[in-house]
Structure formats: structure tokens, C-alpha cells
Amino acid sequence: MFIQGNITLKTFRTSLVVFQNYLMCTQFITFLCNDQGSRDNMSMVLVTFPACPPPVEDAGVKEAALEEVLKNRVTELVNEADGKIELPHILQTLTDENIPDLPPGGGLYAKYVYILTDNFNTDAE
């Protein structure tokens, strides 16, 4: 049984402040639970209240800068390997590096969905 703690879930509160994208936040949380061994009986309730903080402009700029750093670094890794690199190697390399401004609590896991998107080619095929 895996239960997310407040510190880990703080990452997703941060995502709400940046984007107020509820679907993205629930996908991040579900991915994190799956990655850490949860497989069945997963339930999630995301409750927001009218007094929830609005998106912060500075947070969006910071998030965009982080995503640009990730995109550039993944592109470098793929190019260095002539496209013959597997996703686990990319993730391990990024984990080993000290990438600034990763979300508190979830770190690189919180950006995993972004890394998997088609923003850049990570296929070794």
C-alpha cells in the first residue's frame, strides 16, 4: 500500500498554482503512485475551493524555463547517442544531474509526463 504524503503532493499543488490544470495534476499523481508500486485500488479525489490561489505569472515563466532546460538536455542526450538511446537511460542521466528548479516533493517525477510527450524525439527506433 502506498499513500502519498503532504510533502510529495505539494508538487501537485504547485502545478495547480502554475496551470490550474486538474487533469494534468491527477495524471501526475497517478503516474507517481504507479511508479512507486501501487497497482490496484487506487482512488483519487481532487478538491479545489473558490479561494484557491490563482495562477502566478512568475511561476509560469519559471515552469517554461525548466521545460526548456529539460527539452534541451534530452535533445543533447539523443543527439550524442545518434538517436540510439533508451528512455530509462535518459531518465537516469537527468536524475543524476542537479537540474535546478524541479518541483519540490516530486522532482523529476513531476516532469515525467512532459518528458514523455512529443516535445522531442526520445525513440531509439
So where are the chain's domains?
Answer: 6-116
**Can you say whether the dihedral through the CA atoms of 100, 87, 85, 78 is positive or negative?**
negative
C-alpha to C-alpha distance for 80 and 108, rounded to whole angstroms: 21
> What are the pLDDT tens digits along the chain (125 aa)?
345 566 666 666 666 666 667 777 777 777 777 777 777 777 777 777 888 767 676 777 888 889 899 999 999 998 999 888 888 888 899 989 989 888 766 678 778 777 876 545 444 44
Global pTM value: 0.60
Work out the burial of residue 4: count CB atoms within 10 Å of its CB; fewer than 13 is exposed, 13-18 middle, 19 or more buried: middle
Contact (CB, 8 A) for 42 and 6: no
Rg (Cα) of the chain, in Å, rounded?
16
